[in-house]
Structure 1
Amino acid sequence: MASSGGEIPGLVPEKGEPIPPGKLMSTEQRFLDKGAQMMQSLKPVNEIKQHVCTFALYSQDLTRQIETHHYLTRLNQDFIQCAVYDTDDSHGRLIETRGEGRGRGRRGRKEEGGGCELAIAAYRLAAGRRSRPIVARSSSSQQLHRRRLRLQEALENFGGVGASIQVSAGVEYIITDRIFETLPPDEQKLWHSHAYEIKSGLWVNPQVPELVLKPELENLTKTYGKFWCTWQVDRGDRLPLGPPSLMMSPQPVNLGKVRPHLVEKRDYKYKISIDDLKMSRVEIEEPEWINPQADNWKQHGKGFVILVEPIEMKKMAPFP
């Protein structure tokens, strides 16, 4: 039986081993990804509008604290969903964009065929087929090599062959107090409040002025979040192992306080001061009431873990 709070042996990677383990992407894979990126809409991803940096604590062990990066999508006034990463840095090679715009080459000239043709060329090359719009016809290996180099250069100028690699840490859902009060008590225990996190300056939108954020922060103090961590990177997991862990928000009591060195590291990176942020948010009103079912550990001193157990499967198919 596995649990979200258990220790799993063999997690720490060997020195120099990549996380996650695996070979570097091939040129063909990069071409395919770039071609798909240019031809597909990726609408859900494009709906991400905000980046928030904050901190989270494991429900079963509040001494395990991590910096988190939430990428927010607002579905309506009462509901926000967040893809959560362990960093906003790029861990992979990112090839510099030299062009002046989409569909332009190194010297600003328009590439033959435009963006769609370039994407098709990438697919053809990855599949081992000749790409007429971009390169000359040839069957020799030397000419094929030159075609690859030329297409790679075109893709670099079009937007970069490389990709930024981030480790996805989980997902958080954020709801207003109005929605939270409609949940059953057993469900409310899985959620945490945001008021202290915001008032204390732990919750930040990097590069966004506080004056612009103030109305948003005032609304967020009245919200609750449920955050499931799917990859426990803080303990060195090379892959997302075991069941997800429930995460809690920082609080000003007991073990809920974030360790100072984590905050100092964050402040240094973004050139901000948590003390200045706290002062600028003094006038933000705290909620009149925070439901005690949230942040349940403060009242009961207990966290929550998921236990994975075998269970009999339903053998009756819904359709013949």
Structure 2
Amino acid sequence: MPDSPSVPGPETNLKNTVLSTAAGLTQPLAPLKNICAHLNAFHTYADSPGHAVETDHYCAHLSNSVRQCLLYDSAEPNARLIGIEYMITPDLYCGLDAEERKLWHSHVFEVKSGMLAMPKPATVPEVAWEFAEKKEMEEVVGLYGKVFHLWDTRDALPLGLPRLMTSFTEASQVDESVWRERDERMGIDRERKVEGRKGIEEPSLHADADAAWKGNIAAIVEHCLMSKEKGL
């Protein structure tokens, strides 16, 4: 992915490296060990959609209906934690109030277009991984996601307030050169993914989802914040 600003401060010293290693060997770190999937896709800012932010998702199941994902700017050991995403099933989504539903996005385009990918470990055969990835896509295609980024990857530090993000819902919204660079770097054959996912059934989407592409999302966010403050 394109170079990001360097994080300020000296590199991690031996003391911190030893402490981190010791903690990893002795502390349970149970929530992190519940992570069961690594996904890669692009997000964009809900209040000004367009700029594509490549995001590596590390996701865990809280139940059969709810997932939570830690979001990083890469899959490298020193990747920056830039956000969080929650994913829920359609039945839970439909139970939310109308204004809340507008903060959530769909995953249909990400899945069907090949944008959403499970990076393949080098040691796993391609055919076996394609089967596993397709099974994961069959699950994700119907989920609704709510995502906040805490760190704009163009900044050296996490500045300002968290930003509500959304997904892309059609190819014309995405900078093709950014998408193509990701595919080439990760060895992704987009056409092969599209062909392999043709059999994945497209769910009917709720009209309130993907509101960022339909109107003034900033007003929606403000309304939800005010309602929260008033205890509504």
Normalising to structure 1: TM-score of the pair?
Answer: 0.62
Does residue 1:224 correspond to 2:148, yes or no? Answer: no
Does residue 1:206 correspond to 2:126, yes or no? Answer: no
Does residue 1:167 correspond to 2:83, yes or no? Answer: no
Distance in 2 between residues matched to 1:229 and 1:18, nearest whole Å = 17
Query: Which residue of 2 is the match for residue 52 of structure 1?
Result: 39
What is the aligned counterpart of 1:87 among 74, 83, 93? 74
The answer on whether the counterparts of 1:55 and 1:249 sit within 8 Å (CA) in structure 2 is yes
Alignment of 1:1-320 (within 5 A): 19-89=6-76, 164-207=77-120, 209-233=129-153, 236-252=154-170, 257-287=173-203, 289-300=204-215, 302-304=216-218
Distance in 1 between residues matched to 2:51 and 2:5, nearest whole Å = 23
**Structure 1's 252 and 209: CA in aligned 2 closer, same or farther, altered over 3 A?**
same
How far did residue 65 of structure 1 move? 1.1
The answer on whether the counterparts of 2:52 and 2:174 sit within 8 Å (CA) in structure 1 is yes
- The AA in structure 1 aligned to 2:84 is V
Report how many aligned residue pairs link the two structures. 211
What is the SS of the residue equivalent to 1:227?
strand
Query: Which residue of 2 is the match for residue 156 of structure 1?
Result: none
The answer on whether the counterparts of 1:55 and 1:258 sit within 8 Å (CA) in structure 2 is no
How far did residue 19 of structure 1 move? 2.7
Distance in 1 between residues matched to 2:81 and 2:16, nearest whole Å = 20
Residue by residue over 1:14-49, the C-alpha shift from the partner in whole angstroms, topping out at 9 and shown as x without a partner, is xxx973211222222222222222111111111111
| Cα RMSD (Å) | 1.9
How far did residue 215 of structure 1 move? 2.9
The answer on whether the counterparts of 2:67 and 2:88 sit within 8 Å (CA) in structure 1 is yes
Distance in 2 between residues matched to 1:246 and 1:227, nearest whole Å = 6
How far did residue 213 of structure 1 move? 2.6
- The AA in structure 2 aligned to 1:247 is M
Q: Which runs of 5+ in 1 are unaligned?
A: 1-16, 90-163, 308-320
Residue by residue over 1:218-263, the C-alpha shift from the partner in whole angstroms, topping out at 9 and shown as x without a partner, is 2211110000000001xx2111110011111011176xx2211112
Structure 1 ranges of 4+ moved more than 3 A: none
What is the SS of the residue equivalent to 2:103?
coil
Q: Which runs of 5+ in 2 are unaligned?
A: 121-127, 223-232
Residue by residue over 1:261-304, the C-alpha shift from the partner in whole angstroms, topping out at 9 and shown as x without a partner, is 112111112212111111111111100x211111013332x233
How far did residue 53 of structure 1 move? 0.5
What is the SS of the residue equivalent to 2:61?
strand
Q: Which has the larger radius of gyration?
A: 1
Distance in 1 between residues matched to 2:167 and 2:43, nearest whole Å = 5
What is the SS of the residue equivalent to 1:64?
coil
Distance in 2 between residues matched to 1:25 and 1:275, nearest whole Å = 41
